[in-house]
Structure 1
Amino acid sequence: MLSERYFGGPILTMEPGPRPEGVLVSGGRIVAVGTNEELKALDPKARAVDLAGRTLLPAFLDPHGHLSAVASTISLAQMGTAESFSQIEKALGDFRTERRVPAGEWVVGNGYDHNLLVEGAHPTRQVLDAALPENPCLITHASGHMGVANTEALRRMGITAATPDPAGGKIGREEDGTPNGYLEENAFIRLAAGFVPRPTAEEALDDLRAAQEKYLSQGYVLAQDGMTGKAEYALLAAGARAGLPLDVVGYADLRNAPELAKEPPVGRFSMGGYKIFLDGSPQGWTAWMSRPYEGEADYAGYPAWTDEQVTAFLSLALGEGRQILAHCNGDAAAEQYLRCFAAARQRMGAGDTHRPVMIHAQLVRRDQLERMGRFSMIPSFFAAHIWYWGDTHWKNFGPERASHISPLKWAQELGLPFTMHQDSPVIEPNVLESVWCAVNRVTRKGRKLGCGLAVTAETALKAFTIHAAYQYFMESERGSIAPGKRADFVLLDADPTAVEPMKIRDIQVLETIKDGVSVYRK
């Protein structure tokens, strides 16, 4: 059996104790770690792999993202860099020309952020009409919680002045009640669903392949599909049958497709439990807060569900012994999750073995983190918010609350094995950028945001390795470099724990190794 001995560079095991000089691998498993002499004695014939100064870590595991959505947005009009309405118009017009989209066919865009536009507002149907007068058009906000449709798209969706706002959603309107194109939360997620044409099975599989390659290039060997419906399940299962290399864990849409949680594994694709949304986006003013947004008398966002509904959802998951992930950005949503989880646990007589996860936990309070520990609940932070939307949070919530977003240090002090994520396709699945954000806590405008809540690079890396493995109940198999575990590694061109903190984001992934086999090389 082929064996290899890695040596010659920093080795970050994510295990306690001193760093080893080398790692011995055989048959896709880690055999031993130790000094070079010890490993040579164990297997004199092992192939020597000189790291030549490169840094070896456990490969990364994605604690939360939407792989199927990454795939579905790869072939869309990209507008994440747009800084004005005119640039959105240009991106859409260029896309239609380059793709030769005929009149009457849909044009779909992804990734605009009103917070970054000079107008400081969402575009309207008229803006999209100017770019695409002969095509239905729908564009998605970077958060994924809202979007804008043009006039023809609204017509095809059947959204008119007489259409009521759905529960947990909002239709933007002009003074006379005519929809202005803006669709928020359930108005976007539910009312717009099903109208945009899907790619062919072959095209979708090609997009999924490209999405997986993107994750592998960032050092990930496992990605999450954090809201799996029937269409997403079919695509991911097809990818697994086609032999795509990435391990994928899906979480069934608890409201619309709960039966998927019971599906058996298909190759490298398996179901991990359930997912629900409890509120919206802090940068989109839809996160549910216990105190009003800055400058507002009483508006504090809103919930997606009542307590009775949330308790019923959680009771179902606990009754089946399945893990549940709940999207909570605002502290009121976090409070509802804790309140309803306690009620469901009492109702079902459940213990603390399910490892429930609070996704995003942007504005969670310290007292709430303390209570999460009683339920073995894991906070999974979207720490890159500090850079991408920290200045927006400063404006929306004021200095005190904004400085406490993604409170990683609190979680560490309380002994919570927190994870971090990029919520892709909201942002790129770039681990080193997230580590940089967690260590430096600096915004786009250079504002230091809650420096006392920063953590070290090694602590941040654990959020994507050993702690992520714990979240997935995989800590005996993955997440650290230790004997018996899978030989999943990532090679970096520098040691994140040794470089100047502001340079962490510049570190490059050079190679990704999965089960002892190289699956990506820069």
Structure 2
Amino acid sequence: MKYPNAKKIDLERKTLLPGFIDPHSHFGMVSNTMGQVDLNPEPVGTVTDIEDILANLKAYKEANKIADGEWIFGWGYDDGELAEKRHPTKNDIDKVLPNNPVYLQHTSGHMGVANTLALEKMKVSADSKNPEGGNIVRFPNSKEPTGLVQETAMYPFVRHMLEELASKQAKFFDTTQQYYAANGITTAQDGMTDRNTIRFFQAQADAGKFYIDLISLAGYSELESNLKDSTLHFKTYKNGFKVQGTKIVADGSPQGKTAYFTKPYKSEVPGCTHDCRGLPSLTQDELNKLFVMAYDKDNQLFVHCNGDATVDMVLEAHRNACIQLNQPLDKDRRTIVIHAQFARQDQLLKFVQYNMEPSFFTNHAYFWGDVHVENLGKQRADFLSPMVSAERLGLKPTNHSDATVTPIDPIFTIWTAVNRVSRSGAIIGEKERAKPYLALKAITSNAAYEFFEENFKGTLVEGKLADFVILDKNPLKVKPMDIKNIQVLETIKEGKTVFKK
């Protein structure tokens, strides 16, 4: 017998697939939410209005016996799903928590709201200037901040939040890992990781605490120092953990109206009165320098961009770097355009020409499809995450959750790619509804390719790792609208069961 230790197992009509590979989420942020107030709307949470947010904050302080002066963090609020159709302000939060610094992270992850005490601690006032690539939103006819900070203006608040929650990393690490495994994921991702957290993950790995693989993307602000660090070995697993490449954030959120477009938003944009097309997080020159630095050292880039204007910037940065370094435009670097949600058809053709790959986000069709129609118009909304067009051109698109933005749930990701149904039941882009097989490839074989792992992950082929997921039904055979009801029964990593229902 070729494999003497092999066992024959009767699946009893269940479905065996390659273990799901997470193309893009934020493992560390998912873990951090376990120490924050859940402010998500349905179907993730229960918040319907600002009063619900305030009640949840007050209840959290009381239940956890948080003393005055201590920070309180919340996550997942969505102004578009609140009855008031607006962001909470510092004045709202001050009503219930005047004596605690409070920061609430928007569901997009690209903005948040701070109360008066938190603004004071982060030294944000009426005299503060907007940082490059960011916006401190003010009350009408005033310089007084409302508490809403967008894009780079939120960075100090997020940085402080991560510092405050760092002590809880170990406490929530295994719970987070089990959450991923329970959803059939055998390879997870942390979509932007600072050096301290990289050290933490590697320490966990070296202590033998990983039972699924974790891929980390280092932050672009540390790119130069990371490339000079001889102890940091990119693209190389050590005990189930590796740092694959570098994540660049180039613009914002379409539902938060900070994604950068060539044409303006069709609805009112907070903090903007004219030609409201969103915000690039970096200038073209800054982006160009990062691409040159990374390409010169063969460092794989993963670039967050949602709006088509930002995709133009990324394509230009790629072209410029190749010219400066005298490298072929189509070298096999596998630069990944994260989200690429509103990439135009001509930009997809450039991805082919430049050998770049998109990682799409079809969950937006469900969670914010109706909002995108209102904010961007039907034509742009319908071409959201164009998986079908991308594959037709020969690209290998992946599809992700971007958790914490939407929940870790690869089955739901398949469902949104296939159906593209919004909360209201509208179809967001009939022509871009994917076949279930393409939706599966986006979280298996295509995802393996994204990370240069196609030789040992992503398909059921002899010689590859025994990374499997067992489902109660076959996504290729059930009715499209029933896909989201499929259950993960077991997750197997390199032949060992790491989750069983």
Normalising by structure 2, we get a TM-score of: 0.93
Q: Does 1:325 align with 2:302?
A: yes
Which residue number corresponds to residue 434 of structure 2?
Answer: 455
- For residue 78 of structure 1, the aligned residue among 2, 20, 38 is 38
Which of 264, 268, 280 is the equivalent residue of 1:303? 280
SS in 1 for 2:35: coil
Once the 2 structures are TM-superposed, how far is the Cα of residue 266 of structure 1 from its aligned partner?
Answer: 4.0
Secondary structure at the aligned position of 2:74 is classed as strand
Aligned to 1:57: 17
* Cα shift at 1:513: 0.2
Match of 1:477 among 456, 467, 482: 456
Change (3 A) 1:70 1:234: same
Partner of 2:356: 377
The residue correspondences of 1:195-210 to structure 2 (distance < 5 A) are: 197-199=163-165, 201=167, 203-210=168-175
CA contact (8 A) 1:60 1:220 kept: yes
- Displacement of 1:48: 2.4
1:194 matched residue in structure 2 = 160
Alignment of 1:124-163 (within 5 A): 124-163=89-128
Count of residue pairs brought into register by the alignment = 481
Q: Deviations over 1:377-429 (max 9, x none)?
A: 01000110000000110010011111111111110110100001111111111
Counterpart amino acid of 2:15? T
Which 10-residue stretch deviates more, 118-127 or 234-243? 234-243
Q: Is the 8 A contact 2:267 2:374 kept in 1?
A: no
Q: Which residue of 1 aligns with 2:292?
A: 315
Q: Distance in 1 between matches of 2:114 and 2:62?
A: 19
Partner of 1:272: 244
Picking from 198, 214, 217, the partner of 1:248 is 214
- Residue 289 of structure 1 is matched in structure 2 by 261
Please give the per-residue CA displacement for 1:417-460, whole angstroms capped at 9, x wherever unaligned: 00011111111110010110010111000111111111111110
Residues 75 and 195 (structure 1), Cα distance of their counterparts in 2 relative to 1, 3 Å cut = closer
SS of the equivalent of 1:123 reads coil
Q: Cα distance, 1:44 vs. partner?
A: 8.4
Alignment match, 2:130: 165
Which of the numbers 331, 339, 342 marks the counterpart of 2:316? 339
Classify 1:200/1:471 alpha carbon distance in 2 versus 1 (closer, same or farther; 3 Å): closer
Q: Rg bigger for which structure?
A: 1
> 1:270-290: CA deviations, max 9, x gaps?
111111111100000100001
2:488 is aligned, of 509, 514, 518, to 509
Determine if contact 1:145/1:189 at 8 Å carries over to the other structure: no
Counterpart CA distance in 1 for 2:121 and 2:267 is 37
User: Secondary structure of 1:204's partner?
Assistant: helix
Q: Which residue of 2 aligns with 1:92?
A: 57
- Does 2:157 correspond to 1:178? no
* CA RMSD in angstroms, aligned pairs only: 1.6
User: What is aligned with 1:260?
Assistant: 226
Corresponding letter in the other structure for 2:336:
V
Q: Partners in 2 of 1:271 and 1:98 — Cα distance?
A: 38
Q: Which residue of 1 aligns with 2:193?
A: 228
| Higher mean C-alpha deviation, range 218-227 or range 389-398 | 218-227
Choose the corresponding residue for 1:439, options 409, 413, 418.
418
Give the partner amino acid of 2:18. P
Give the Å deviation of 1:492. Answer: 0.3
Identity, % of aligned positions: 37
Q: Please list every run of 5 or more consecutive structure 2 residues that lacks an aligned counterpart in the other structure.
A: 42-46, 269-273
Change (3 A) 1:316 1:47: same
Q: CA deviation at 1:43?
A: 6.1
Find the counterpart in structure 2 of residue 113 from structure 1. 78
Query: Does the 8 A contact of 2:122 with 2:156 survive in 1?
Result: no
The one-character-per-residue Cα deviations of 1:264-308 (angstroms, maximum 9, x if unpaired) are 354211111111111100000100001111157621112111211
- 1:348 corresponding residue in structure 2: 325
1:63/1:421 contact within 8 Å kept: yes
Q: 1:112 to 1:266 in 2, by over 3 A?
A: same
Distance in structure 1 (CA, Å) of the matches to 2:5 and 2:364: 48
Post-superposition offset of 1:477: 0.3
Are the aligned partners of 2:251 and 2:259 in contact in 1 as well (CA < 8 Å)?
A: yes
SS in 2 for 1:256: helix
